[in-house]
Amino acid sequence: MAPREEETRGTGSGPGSGPANGPGSGPGKAGTGNILRKAGTGRVAGEWAARLLAPLATELLLLGGGLLLLVPLLLRVLAGNPLIPGAESYAHLHGLSQHAGAYDLFLTALSPLGDARILASVLLGLAAAYLFARLAKGLLRHEHERTIALLLFLVNPLFLSVFTAMTPMTLVVPLGLLAAVAAKEGRDRLLAVALPLTALLSPTAAAALAAALLLLTKRRRPTAVASLVALPAAAASMLFLSPVTFIPSVQVAEFGAVNGLSLVLAGLAVMEGVAAWDEREGRAAFLLFLAALAVSPLEQGFRVVAGFASSVLAAGLVARLARRKWSLRDAQPLVLLLVACLLLFLLLTHIGAITREPPTDKLVRTLAALPPDGGVVLSPPALSPFVEALAGHPALPREHECDSPSERCNDVERLYYTWRMDDAEPILAEYNITYLLITQEMRDGAVWNRDDEGLLFLLDHSERFKRVAADPQEELWKYTPPAGTGAAPAGTATGTTGPTADATGSGAAQ
Amino acid sequence: MHSRTKYGLLLLGLTLLVLGLRLLVAYQTAQPSYQSYFTILQTEAIHKTGLPEYTDPYSYEGRRYEFPPLFYYLLALVTLVAPAAAAMKIVPNILMATLVPIAYLIAHRLTKSRGVSLLVALFAGFSPLLFTSGLNDASTISLALPLGAAFVLALLDLEEHPLRALIAAAALTFVSPLVWVFLAAFVAYFLILAAEKMRITPAMTEAALFAFLLAAWYTIITYKDALQRYGFGILAGSLPTTVRLASFGEFTLLGMVYAVGVVPLMLGSASLYRSSFEQRSRRVFFLAALGLVALLTGFAQLLPLRTALILLSIVFVLLAAPALSVLAAYWRKSRFTRLQPWGVALLIAFFVLTSVLPAIVAGVYPGSSPTQSELDAMAWLRNSTPAGSVVLAAPKSGFLLDELAHRPSIADENYLLISNPDAILGDLDQAYTTPSTVAATEVLARYNVSYILVGPAENARYQEFGAVLQDRTCFPIAYRNPQTLVLSVNCTLSAPSVAEAR
């Protein structure tokens, strides 16, 4: 018997007959009730509940978003670790960032509040959620799409990580959203203020936003004017405040990166982009999203823009899945349930990650064992803000110092891998290192692969190293130089090159 | 006799023949494979607690396993009524034998010809790599492969029976990460259709979406720690370099010809050519996409070479169906219609010579299972050594020590979530091969090793042994039988062990 040939060359169906419903194929203005009916799940009770709750949905979600931001902070308190999470928070709170940016001025203005300044981040998060809801009102036609978009904005890992820490992004996100809302609602003066302010804090985020506004909104002239005004702000920021450094680093929330993009949301956004390919606006938005996604590993500003854009596109997909007529009817509720499960799991995992983020109570206890002599501490770069802020000791190397090669970092690396005291001592003396902070991660492959490798051998076998703190996870060792060695005064990490050669720890809170 | 009944009986006979031959070859060795002891460990844990053992109780440094548990539950169910050793041999062979009727049904969907489908079922039963897979090894692939094939079958009937595809996708997801290869195949399939300007059916999109979301959710839950540790490098990142080089070896054409079998490879290639350049078929395109993904992941060393070749075998066996069908139709139109049975007989004879015989020979592979002498050594270790004594052994013997001796070893063949596996394997090799007693003792002290196993698995791994076999003062023989030695460690160094140093 001849095989059944389904289509012969030249007679195949044309493109454009994919599964996606076209624009406007969803429910009309009748609201959520109609949607439920069209989706095939339209039970009377469900419709009434949806009708009653629909007007309140935004307010309820905003309230939920505020509470959501408090959850990881409260969990940290309950776990006996009430400190603000994240190394970047400490860099800004204690004036330790390499360059004082506009955000540091903002924090200085709030300094009377002390550690309660974290609540400012929570409030800014609420403001961002409100502005996002307002922006969604202008962008999305249907109420249920707006509700889903807001929901996905709130469960986005970036929302949690940005607004439970103290980073410039806490200002960048609401200001960027304000600029977008202003562009959408035709408030040109507001746009001309918000976009430059965004550029002052994060030139990359502002550039991405300006590109999106220019390409996606119809009112291009005011946007172009605001972008022109933003240019000097961006230049001033990059030249005088905080230079933008592009260090490629793929950060994924599902892989445990607290400030990472969500693969799930990005995946849903890409699917929406493919499904909406035939829609002109959808195509432009998708291409912009892909561009932001492609550059997101380079800089945090790009990552934040790509991250929140993924919420909007993913919401489009979820709404599309809910309203379309399925060929596989059994699959529809399962698919929607799976999306909900994925997002819930993502949210819970991320709350856990923020709750466990350093400084941990173990690290704080270990640092508390440091005598108040201001000796330089050799520590992993990621922990240096904590060493400087919580213990008041200068740290070597400082955060991000070793992202690009330098002589100091080469020396530190040589020190980690030498097992000869003759090689180690000149480096220890040159940088005046008195204490060494060794973590379990360093032993587990971050630096060493064996427990007798390099410096670990010396720690175990040289009498010049004495253990100060005995926590098995965070080891603290003190180095005593041989008698007669001319050591620099305590508190000075000497060195040769680089803008941060003098890590004196000035400004560190005791 | 009705044609349907006749072919039904022939298919049943073929399935039983495949199963019988598989069991015959499998029972040439008395024990299941070394790897199967991990499965036995899991089934016993399920019997005791209702849950698989996610924490290795005998690990030297304390380790956590991450795996989908469905296969182990299935075997735990069978071992309620059958001895574990028998279940480890019989169940995987029954599962793999189900590939025969599934291949028949797929071929029937593709060609509507019972004769052709029966030939394809024969190829599926005796394709060399498919025949040797799961022969003596109770591992998840023996369930994942039939489920994958069932998923393909369900996709061919998607419009008529959508629920079957959803169930098959869910089952495959809960059994093996191999589901991701099928998801990649969906992407490749959609790209092929787009390139050919053919319509993507909504049902196929929906099935792919369901499978993708389910796989994403289940993978994130099951492999949470591993994903956080290795990120995108989860496939290769956990393996030590030496193991990675061995598992993700060079992809060669000759290797593919041997693995797939000459006949299915030739016929499958003909089908691919025809569907690409003459007559387009969605169904063939999906199989082609699956083969393409297996090939690319094999080349890119994202999938172990053997797994990639197994998938290619299935794809080419199934792709043989359209080519055979065309060949049969062509023959009927020719002047040699009367000779068709002889042609079929010749094809079968050629297949037997090039695939069936090599498959059976490859199946009787010594060294994949522990010998009785090793089992005796395990019994001695369990009864005559103090509990908690660390035993130095080749990674292959790791699960054996866990399951039978109940003694910790420093390495087994599951490297996921192990800290510094390269360093551990390096230490292991050094301990066995260094000619210096001091160096060997230093390594042994680091891991608190009390006994050293030297059996067939260690002999296969090391060509020459060092001080451990030469220095009888430091390493006296504690137990010996014709094939296996257990040495005890008498010498110690004052260097701190890893545990003490921490």
Q: How many CA atoms lie within 13 Å of A372's alpha carbon, on the beta-carbon side?
A: 3
Chain A interface includes B202 (CB < 8 A) = yes
Q: Is B111 in contact with A7 (Cβ distance < 8 A)?
A: no
| pLDDT: which is higher, A142 or A501 | A142
At A243, give phi and psi (nearest 5°): -60, 140
| Whole-angstrom distance, CA of residue A456 vs CA of residue A462 | 10
Of A19, A349, A472, nearest to B200 by CB-CB distance is A19
Check if the interface score ipTM surpasses 0.90: no
Q: What is the mean pLDDT of residues A150-169?
A: 93
Topology classification of domain A361-479 = Rossmann fold (3.40.50)
| Whole-angstrom distance, CA of residue B63 vs CA of residue B430 | 23
Q: Are B449 and B489 in contact (CB under 8 A)?
A: yes
Q: Find chain B residues with C-beta within 8 A of A3's C-beta.
A: 110-112, 281, 321-322, 325-326
Chain A interface includes B224 (CB < 8 A) = yes
Note the pLDDT tens digit of each residue in B163-185. 999 999 999 999 999 999 999 99
pLDDT at A51 (0 to 100): 62
**Of all residues in chain A, what percent carry a pLDDT higher than 70?**
80
Note the pLDDT tens digit of each residue in B446-492. 888 999 999 999 999 998 899 999 998 999 999 999 999 999 999 88
Note the pLDDT tens digit of each residue in B189-237. 999 999 988 988 999 999 999 999 999 999 999 998 888 888 877 776 5
Distance of CA A365 to the CA centre of its chain: 27
Tell whether the model's pLDDT for residue B119 goes beyond 60.
yes
| Residue of B155, B158, B199, B213 best to disrupt the A interface, most CBs of A under 10 A | B213
Chain A interface includes B110 (CB < 8 A) = yes
Q: Residue B120, exposed/middle/buried by CB under 10 A (0-12, 13-18, 19+)?
A: buried
Chain A interface includes B419 (CB < 8 A) = yes
pLDDT at A509 (0 to 100): 30
Q: Is B202 in contact with A254 (Cβ distance < 8 A)?
A: no
pLDDT at A406 (0 to 100): 80
Note the pLDDT tens digit of each residue in A395-447. 988 877 777 778 888 899 999 998 888 899 999 999 999 999 998 888 877 88
Q: Is B162 in contact with A449 (Cβ distance < 8 A)?
A: no
| Whole-angstrom distance, CA of residue B167 vs CA of residue B153 | 12
Least confident range from A46-55, A490-499, B309-318: namely A490-499
Neighbour count for residue A213 (Cβ, 10 Å): 24
Minimum distance, in Å, between the CA of residue A83 and any CA atom of chain B: 24
Q: Are A445 and A424 in contact (CB under 8 A)?
A: no
Nearest to A319 by CA among A180, A51, A154, A140: A140
Q: What type of residue sits at position A83?
A: L
Helix (H, G, I), strand (E, B) or coil at B479: strand
Closest residue on chain A to B421 (Cα): A449
Task: Give a three-class secondary structure readout of B110-124.
Answer: HHCCHHHHHHHHHHH
Q: Is B232 in contact with A250 (Cβ distance < 8 A)?
A: yes
Tell whether the model's pLDDT for residue B380 goes beyond 90.
yes
Tell me the pLDDT band of B365, cut-offs 50, 70 and 90.
low
| Whole-angstrom distance, CA of residue B308 vs CA of residue B315 | 11
Q: Is B498 in contact with A451 (Cβ distance < 8 A)?
A: yes
pLDDT at A98 (0 to 100): 52
Q: What is the mean pLDDT of residues B258-280?
A: 88
| Whole-angstrom distance, CA of residue A366 vs CA of residue A72 | 23
Q: Is A12 in contact with B498 (Cβ distance < 8 A)?
A: no
Q: What is the mean pLDDT of chain A?
A: 80
Of A5, A13, A450, nearest to B423 by CB-CB distance is A450
Q: What is the mean pLDDT of residues A468-475?
A: 78
Closest residue on chain B to A275 (Cα): B205
Q: Is B282 in contact with A6 (Cβ distance < 8 A)?
A: yes
| Residue of A11, A254, A255 best to disrupt the B interface, most CBs of B under 10 A | A255
User: Which pTM was predicted?
Assistant: 0.83
Minimum distance, in Å, between the CA of residue B196 and any CA atom of chain A: 8
Domain B372-501 has CATH 2.60.40: no
Closest residue on chain A to B160 (Cα): A328
Q: Find chain A residues with C-beta within 8 A of B227's C-beta.
A: 254-256
Q: Find chain A residues with C-beta within 8 A of B166's C-beta.
A: 328, 330-331, 334
Q: Are B381 and B488 in contact (CB under 8 A)?
A: no
Tell me the pLDDT band of A50, cut-offs 50, 70 and 90.
low
Sequence-ordered list of residues with C-beta below 8 angstroms from that of A145, at least 6 positions apart, any chain: A136, A315, A316, A319
Of B163, B197, B216, nearest to A15 by CB-CB distance is B197
Closest residue on chain B to A334 (Cα): B210
Strand partners, B479: B486
Q: Find chain A residues with C-beta within 8 A of B221's C-beta.
A: 345
Instruction: Return the domain boundaries, chain A.
Output: 32-45+52-356, 361-479
Sequence-ordered list of residues with C-beta below 8 angstroms from that of A322, at least 6 positions apart, any chain: A35, A39, A144, A336
Q: Is A6 in contact with B498 (Cβ distance < 8 A)?
A: no
Closest residue on chain B to A5 (Cα): B281
User: Quick one: DSSP state of residue A203?
Assistant: H
Note the pLDDT tens digit of each residue in B384-442. 999 889 999 999 999 999 999 999 998 888 888 887 788 889 999 999 999 999 999 98
Note the pLDDT tens digit of each residue in B10-67. 999 999 999 999 999 999 888 888 989 999 999 999 999 999 999 887 776 667 888 9
| Whole-angstrom distance, CA of residue A272 vs CA of residue A292 | 16
Instruction: Return the domain boundaries, chain B.
Output: 3-363, 372-501
Sign of dihedral through CA atoms A140, A144, A148, A154? positive
| Inter-chain Cβ pairs, chain A and chain B, closer than 8 A | 146
Q: Is B220 in contact with A345 (Cβ distance < 8 A)?
A: yes
Alpha carbon distances (Å) from B354 to A317, B122, B265: 51, 13, 12
Nearest to B403 by CA among B36, B80, B27: B36
Q: Which residues of A241-277 are buried (b: 16+ CB within 10 A; e: fewer)?
A: bbeeeeeeeebbbbbbbbbbbbbbbbbbbbbbbebbb
Q: Are B417 and B64 in contact (CB under 8 A)?
A: yes
pLDDT at B191 (0 to 100): 94
Q: What type of residue sits at position A422?
A: D
Q: Find chain A residues with C-beta within 8 A of B496's C-beta.
A: 460
Q: A465-470 and A474-479: which strand pairing?
A: antiparallel
Q: Find chain A residues with C-beta within 8 A of B268's C-beta.
A: none
Measure CA of the first residue to CA of the last residue in chain B; give whole Å: 77
Chain A interface includes B464 (CB < 8 A) = no
pLDDT at A31 (0 to 100): 42
The token duo for A84 is 């603000």
Q: Find chain B residues with C-beta within 8 A of A339's C-beta.
A: 213
Q: What is the mean pLDDT of chain B?
A: 89
Closest residue on chain B to A445 (Cα): B420
pLDDT at A409 (0 to 100): 87
Sign of dihedral through CA atoms B326, B332, B336, B338? positive
Neighbour count for residue A415 (Cβ, 10 Å): 23
Q: Are A477 and A438 in contact (CB under 8 A)?
A: yes
pLDDT at A452 (0 to 100): 77
Q: Find chain A residues with C-beta within 8 A of B120's C-beta.
A: none
| Residue of B220, B271, B277 best to disrupt the A interface, most CBs of A under 10 A | B220
Q: Find chain A residues with C-beta within 8 A of B501's C-beta.
A: 451-452, 460
Minimum distance, in Å, between the CA of residue A265 and any CA atom of chain B: 11
Tell me the pLDDT band of A491, cut-offs 50, 70 and 90.
very low
Chain A interface includes B465 (CB < 8 A) = no
Sequence-ordered list of residues with C-beta below 8 angstroms from that of A82, at least 6 positions apart, any chain: A76
Q: Residue B239, exposed/middle/buried by CB under 10 A (0-12, 13-18, 19+)?
A: buried
Q: Find chain B residues with C-beta within 8 A of A5's C-beta.
A: 279-281
Q: Are B104 and B120 in contact (CB under 8 A)?
A: yes
| Residue of A357, A451, A453 best to disrupt the B interface, most CBs of B under 10 A | A451
